[in-house]
Structure 1
């Protein structure tokens, strides 16, 4: 499991000057403020285990402008990391992806999602266990729902995964941005054992299975 989060917050505050893809984010009471999509952007939301790895996976895709870590899929309003980790809110660690649909389609984004984690593991991802690490694809329209189903069928027919997919399909309701300490955590803490042993293999797995969707600088 991940190391004690209090230590991680202290470390991040100390390293606060690090370059980050979410430097543009504003914060309020320690939480990221969700930016509004630009005119050329659409948004999509996914949950697939620890949001540190999922955020990095999505950031490496062509046409993705920014990715925010947060919480979705639960009942509690304005949850925080402690409550979500305690399995008290119904939320899963999630990401909201801002992308240019003229560069990467929603179907391609969904395909990358299914190779960025293990969609066959119920309520967990590797060493991270519990409903807050479950696999969810959120949809905003009937067409997005159909697209997710099409991609899931293709993945299952490929027999890449030995077990059936258990990813939930849920209508999008609300996304709560996580604490600023979680934004771009993967890049700011690449030296941590958890990142090297658990998060990085997920990122490398996605790169290897959808290389045509990944920015060229990450393939060398």
Structure 2
């Protein structure tokens, strides 16, 4: 099986993980921290905004089933790439919109995709998503993994994540795993 890795940061990793784990061709999604300056950061350090890390997800996927560009399409459709260091009420550099590319092809595809979105005027405001070379990715603590699946009744999940999942099902039903289609 063909495997590739993508690392995306689109605000709270609980949201991003919940979206991408539902896609056909995605083999695994792990929440974690990337793009910062210290080794093995903990959540309490990330929350200060002083480490430079973003909450992100490491996605292992089969590019024969879903391409990196396909992941980018979903990424930009399910978060706001026009707000600097913010997603809704979540504010700070840890909530920035960023693509951490694992190879030069991903860098080029990300640049082209953002350019296309700008030229087509998809967003009212300018896209502030950064494109960065992937560095170390540190998995978040166990209680952050599979958060939405394990805590769907929590207010944050119902208010913030549920609408993203609804949008995903509404606009990308053909890209969903059959186990998550309903």
The normalised TM-score by structure 2 is 0.93
Q: Would the aligned equivalents of 2:5 and 2:102 in 1 still touch at CA under 8 Å? A: no
Following superposition, the deviation at residue 173 of structure 1 comes to: 0.9
Contiguous gaps of at least 5 residues in structure 2: none
Structure 2 matches for 1:1-220, cutoff 5 A? 40-220=2-182
Contact 1:108–1:213 under 8 Å retained in 2: no
Identify the range of structure 1 (206-215 vs 94-103) with the bigger mean alpha-carbon deviation. Answer: 206-215
Bigger CA drift: 206-215 or 160-169?
206-215
Give SS of 2:124's match.
coil
Offset at 1:146? Answer: 1.0
Stretches of structure 1 that go unaligned for 5 or more consecutive residues are 1-38
**RMSD, aligned α-carbons:** 1.5
Distance 1:140 1:163, change over 3 A: same
Maintained 8 Å contact 1:44/1:139: yes
Q: Is the alpha carbon distance of 1:151 and 1:214 closer, same or farther for their aligned partners in structure 2, counting shifts above 3 Å?
A: farther
Q: How has the CA–CA distance of structure 1 residues 84 and 55 changed in structure 2, closer, same or farther, with 3 Å as cutoff? A: same
Contact 1:115 1:209 survives alignment (8 Å): no
Instruction: Give TM-score scaled by structure 1 length.
Output: 0.78
Give deviations 1:19-44, integer Å, cap 9, x for gaps: xxxxxxxxxxxxxxxxxxxx632111
Q: In structure 1, how many angstroms separate the alpha carbons of the residues matched to 2:4 and 2:166?
A: 26
Q: Distance in 2 between matches of 1:178 and 1:59?
A: 16
How many pairs align?
A: 182
